[in-house]
Amino acid sequence: MAGGGLAGMAAALRLEQAGIAYLLLEAQERLGGRIFSQPVAADDGSGVDLGPTWFWPHQQRMRRLCAELRCKVFEQHVAGDVLYQQGSAQPVQRSDAGQGMLSYRVEGGTQSLIAALAARLDPAGVQRSCPITNIAPGEDGWSVSATAADGSEPRQFRAQHLVLAAPPRKLLQIAGLSSCLPAGLSTALAATPTWMAAQAKFVAVYPAPFWRQAGLSGQAFSRVGPMVEIHDASATTDTGFALFGFIGVPAGVRSRHAAGVLQDACLRQLVSLFGAQAATPEVSYLKDWAQDAWIVSEQDIDESPRHPELDLSRWLPQLRRMQLHLVGSEVAPQEGGYLEGALGSVEVLMRSPELFS
Ligand SMILES: Cc1cc2nc3c(=O)[nH]c(=O)nc-3n(C[C@H](O)[C@H](O)[C@H](O)COP(=O)(O)OP(=O)(O)OC[C@H]3O[C@@H](n4cnc5c(N)ncnc54)[C@H](O)[C@@H]3O)c2cc1C
């Protein structure tokens, strides 16, 4: 199996529970893929999210998985006024009519889900820093090569079934895959955007929720930037207090700034919105997903963001006969792009009768 994001890790759990042997190869040193939380403090197990933050009430797969893994969830903090920054020359407006829609967060950061999944897997069944670079169909299954970035000899594996759990455009960079795929599928994969892959997020952690104490929710919307949408990002209801923002500066412009420039601009914006206390976070993080070579592809940076909509159903019978399975948020039958979609795609995998033969 290729890819240790939510889809790959959840697929490994379901295979483990079904008594099916697996080996998950993850390209990066860390697990989680787009799920990425950073510590609130050096000695604190809890984290703030630089990747996905929320799931919503109708997304029952996420709710069930959190319950199964005993990961606590809590409601996104929205109580308090919302701020609007319409222009740099205009005063910030404050409204008590905001109140975002109900959404849920995983306590201690979404990475807690990945940690809980990893704890349930056989450690020998997960190998990190092991990118799949080449595949070829063999006698009864697949030959797989993985080449580490350190230039060491490629490692060879044989697999009866091959499960690919990486964004479709990254899959097409695996040598040998396109030539194996049913007609039309390569083109469809290339046309499928990687959700949020060109985004960047900034998070600042504070000793106290001074915005809440001032009657603010932490929500702000800005036409000034660099952040266009800001939210309370605290790690739990009442610990690890933090604010996060989606950065509105396009990826191409971001890449031309020296390290630290954008981070300083984000802090200045937080001060202009929430006051002087915002100037001195305990720690702050910026994650530019457009720089993450195992997630983003050129086209994701060049195109306007749009939801992935790839209906695999017409290729599914042929893929199953080939013992080749695609999972992941972008190939989900519903909720494409979301964590919920990643879990839905694993359900499709586990309905494959060939896996059990
Ligand atoms: C900034 C941001 C905010 C988001 N906010 C939300 C949100 O609030 N709610 C929500 O539901 N969703 C959100 N999303 C989307 C959500 O993160 C994804 O839907 C989900 O994490 C995708 O999981 P996945 O396992 O399908 O793919 P990924 O997480 O992309 O995992 C793919 C894995 O494959 C690995 N890989 C790639 N190529 C290879 C290879 N050749 N060999 C081996 N491994 C390989 C990668 O390193 C990666 O670990 C957000 C995403 C981002 C970036």
Q: Which residue out of 329, 334, 343 has the highest number of ligand 1 atoms within 8 Å of its CB and is therefore the one to mutate?
A: 329
Residue 223 shares a structural domain with residue 318 = no
Whether the Cβ atoms of residue 138 and residue 33 lie closer than 8 Å to each other = no
Residue 12 shares a structural domain with residue 126 = yes
Q: Which residue out of 25, 26, 34 has the highest number of ligand 1 atoms within 8 Å of its CB and is therefore the one to mutate?
A: 34
The closest of 109, 106, 8, 104 to 59, measured between CA atoms, is 104
Q: Is 296 helix (H, G, I), strand (E, B) or coil?
A: coil
Please give the model's pTM, rounded to 2 decimal places. 0.97
Q: Which atom of ligand 1 sits closest to the CA of residue 103?
A: 8
Q: Which atom of ligand 1 sits closest to the CA of residue 35?
A: 21
Residue 19 shares a structural domain with residue 141 = yes
The answer to whether the CB of 8 is under 6 A from ligand 1 is yes
| Dist. CA 106 → ligand 1 center (Å) | 16
Q: Find tokens 């969830």 and name the residue.
A: 73
The answer to whether position 128 is within a domain reads yes
The answer to whether position 184 is within a domain reads yes
300 is in which domain, residue-wise? Answer: 1-35+110-190+293-357
The CATH number linked to 214 is 3.90.660.10
The four Cα atoms 97, 102, 106, 110 give a dihedral, to 10 degrees, of: -80
- Would you give per-residue pLDDT tens digits along the chain (357 residues)? 999 999 999 999 999 999 999 999 999 999 999 999 999 988 888 999 999 999 999 999 999 999 999 999 999 999 999 999 999 999 999 999 766 679 999 999 999 999 999 999 999 999 999 999 999 998 889 999 998 777 788 999 999 999 999 999 999 999 999 999 999 999 999 999 999 999 999 999 999 999 999 999 999 999 999 999 999 999 999 999 999 999 999 999 999 988 899 999 999 999 999 999 999 999 999 999 999 999 999 999 989 889 999 999 999 999 999 999 999 999 999 999 999 999 999 999 999 998 988
- For ligand 1, atom 35, which residue shows the shortest CA distance? 3
